[in-house]
Structure 1
Amino acid sequence: MTVSLEQLRRCHFAVDLGAARTRVYVRGVGLVVDQPSVAAVNTRTGALIAVGEFAEQMTGRTPSYIRVVRPVSGGTVVDIEMAQRMLRHLIGDRTRRTLRRKPRLRAAACTPHDADPLAQRATIETLVGLGARRVELVDTLIAAAVGCGLPVERPEATMIMVCGAAATQVAVLSLGSIVTAERIPVGGEAVDRAIVQHLRHEHALVLPSQSVRPLHVALSGTGLTPDGPVSAEIHGRDVATGLARTVRIDTAAVREAIQTPLTAVLDGIGKVLRECPPDLVADLVDRGIMMVGGSALLPGLDQMVRQATGIPVRIADQPDMCAVQGLGDMLEGRIEPLVLNPLAA
């Protein structure tokens, strides 16, 4: 790990700033925030109007003087001031006052694999603005692996696939560290865009922003596999007239449109396996790949990965909660480190 378990046990709260949702865990209390990473701002006065669920419901429905923003993109803070304001309102005054009473308040936060120094600095400054005197950064891959119960501290290979909104991260872990990893800039949002573009080009239909995610109506059941439903009715707006219209789409064509972004994900998994030592690959044949993240629930994605790699694939019980749960387990001291004592000369 980039930070020791002993340092994490001294932290008072942990934050998982994701492109889709923000989650906050307070030591001794548990999960206190699980809300969309969205804020609505009055551009005339600069006042913050709403955050979280209510702000997300306002997307695409606001007058011109109200702007809905997302201060986090791809797990990286892109607007520090707005991220701080959003977090203050999500955490609430009572919890913030409790945290500020802590002497030398410490925080922990997830960062994407291979995040550049500027991205790490933005995360640190965001939490420092909330009163943290020290911020410990944990790789999202490590936190998610701990949260879904993988034995990351043992000398055995475990493979995890974090399916986020903006990116997919794949890694092989052993002895509490990352052996080989790859970050693919393709996530649930790329799948959404592929579906939207397909419907616009083939059916001249525009979907409401709240109805895109990611077309589970058409891909229900067996999802991305050919055994799924043959067709489905979709409601949207006609490109030419602007009027509401309902069309029946061929789900096979939708699956084909989705294949393009997901091919990059499969290529990334193949690259990780090729760079992994043979002994660890042999472990993976038995243990398989663990999928976590909100986009892991895309119907049929696990079957696609299984067919492409020939390795068993499992989805965590609560895939979208694994990263923050892993941070919480490390804060509470539930993870015992592997102690490697040096041999006497």
Structure 2
Amino acid sequence: MTASLEQLRRCHFAVDLGAARTRVYVKGAGLVVDEPSAAAVNTRTGALIAVGEFAEKMTGRTPHYIRVVRPVSGGTVVDIEMAQRMLRHLLGDKLRRTLRRKPRLRAAAAVPHDADPLAQRATVETLVGLGARRVELVDTLIAAAVGCGLPVEQPEATMIIVCGAATTQIAVLSLGSIVTAARIPVGGDAIDHAVVQHLRQHHALMLPSQSVRPLQLALSGNGLTPQGPEQTEIHGRDVATGLARSVHVDTAAVRSAIHTPLTAVLDGIGRVLRDCPPDLVADLTERGIMMVGGSALLPGLDQMLRNAIGVPVHIAERPDVCAVRGLGEMLEGRIQPMALNPLTD
């Protein structure tokens, strides 16, 4: 599925279609689009009302005839037509005209590990609808590893965890290829849901959908670790009366609630390590694990993995844009493959 570096150097732009955000890298111009993967549609007329950040803000605040849709789920395009319309508006007329002037426009796209042929076809058709004559597919795991500066081309073990909104992908890389990998259908959205359910069941409080992630980030600074504050104040709506109410929540209980869905991630890491050759596992005890993706910023997540696995866990710089940055490095020709010439007798 991963295209060769020579093919990627001929591409003019790259797209990372994520469940949470869509990012576009244009060769020579850098990252030009970094917006939420959301679109607001008027169901009466079919007209597109807003895309990106503005559409995200409209979630839960629209009249009945306006619906906020997400054409991408788990890195897979589930609505090709809506994904094309969203990308057209995110790129803008000026940039689309510039790209259309390119002879034989080529595009690259990051797709999840082990994506089925139908999911790959949906990604290709989405970019073909934007005018691309050829689309190269790159495994998200390899793109993210390149984007965070890991030496993927060397004969050494490199373990990476891509923490997305809908899925978590885990892989051990060596010599520019994936040795063993797993994809778990648990991501940042599952953690958000666990926090919402905890507040509803134990405090009879309904939290606005857009307040879950800011709440978790507000508890960063060791907030969701044993060294953090014991309690924090949360504002929401009372389940019984429907009135606004504030409660003091025990952060230890919130920490326990978000650990529940993360047990699947720990199981996936253990499965990948069991399938990995012993020599590569020995390398990981020194090099550690690199975490990328927007959900890697969840407070306390790296410490929990560090305690459970017993190896160093690092968070990449700007983990949310590592995949599209890796695609850009390949487009610009900054990645040189390791030459493995056959020996002659």
Query: Normalising by structure 2, what TM-score?
Result: 0.98
Find the counterpart in structure 2 of residue 46 from structure 1: 46
Find the counterpart in structure 2 of residue 69 from structure 1: 69
Q: Equivalent residue of 2:127, what SS?
A: helix
Find the counterpart in structure 1 of residue 101 from structure 2: 101
Q: CA deviation at 1:214?
A: 5.9
Report matched runs for 1:309-320 at 5 Å: 309-320=309-320
Q: CA deviation at 1:2?
A: 2.2
Contact 2:220–2:300 (Cα < 8 Å) also in 1: no
Contact 2:152–2:175 (Cα < 8 Å) also in 1: yes
Contact 1:191–1:214 (Cα < 8 Å) also in 2: no
Distance of aligned partners of 1:86 and 1:277 in 2 relative to their CA distance in 1, 3 Å threshold: same
Find the counterpart in structure 2 of residue 134 from structure 1: 134
Find the counterpart in structure 1 of residue 117 from structure 2: 117
Contact 2:217–2:298 (Cα < 8 Å) also in 1: no
Distance of aligned partners of 1:46 and 1:141 in 2 relative to their CA distance in 1, 3 Å threshold: same
Contact 2:75–2:112 (Cα < 8 Å) also in 1: yes
Find the counterpart in structure 1 of residue 189 from structure 2: 189
Contact 1:217–1:232 (Cα < 8 Å) also in 2: no
Unaligned runs of 5+ in 1: none
Contact 1:24–1:324 (Cα < 8 Å) also in 2: yes
Contact 2:288–2:312 (Cα < 8 Å) also in 1: yes
Contact 1:154–1:175 (Cα < 8 Å) also in 2: yes
**Partner deviation per Cα, 1:1-37 (whole Å, 9 max, x = no partner):** 7210000000000000000000000001111100000
Unaligned runs of 5+ in 2: none
Q: Structure 1: how far apart are the matches of 2:28 and 2:277?
A: 40
Find the counterpart in structure 2 of residue 17 from structure 1: 17
Matched residue count: 345
Q: Structure 1: how far apart are the matches of 2:195 and 2:214?
A: 8
Q: Equivalent residue of 1:314, what SS?
A: strand
**Partner deviation per Cα, 1:41-60 (whole Å, 9 max, x = no partner):** 01111010100000000000
Q: CA deviation at 1:225?
A: 2.1
Q: CA deviation at 1:216?
A: 2.1
Q: Equivalent residue of 1:92, what SS?
A: helix
Matched, 1:324 2:296: no
Q: Equivalent residue of 1:220, what SS?
A: coil
Q: Structure 2: how far apart are the matches of 1:202 and 1:339?
A: 59
Q: CA deviation at 1:278?
A: 0.5
Q: CA deviation at 1:344?
A: 1.5
Contact 1:10–1:106 (Cα < 8 Å) also in 2: yes
Q: Structure 1: how far apart are the matches of 2:303 and 2:65?
A: 45
Matched, 1:55 2:55: yes
Q: Structure 2: how far apart are the matches of 1:282 and 1:240?
A: 55
Matched, 1:258 2:283: no
Find the counterpart in structure 2 of residue 296 from structure 1: 296
Contact 2:220–2:298 (Cα < 8 Å) also in 1: no
* Stretch deviating more after TM superposition (18-27 or 216-225): 216-225
Contact 2:25–2:324 (Cα < 8 Å) also in 1: yes
Q: Structure 1: how far apart are the matches of 2:277 and 2:214?
A: 36
Matched, 1:34 2:34: yes
Which consecutive aligned stretches of 4+ in structure 1 deviate over 3 angstroms post-superposition?
A: none
Q: Structure 1: how far apart are the matches of 2:217 and 2:337?
A: 44
Report matched runs for 1:171-186 at 5 Å: 171-186=171-186
Distance of aligned partners of 1:218 and 1:232 in 2 relative to their CA distance in 1, 3 Å threshold: farther
Query: Normalising by structure 1, what TM-score?
Result: 0.98
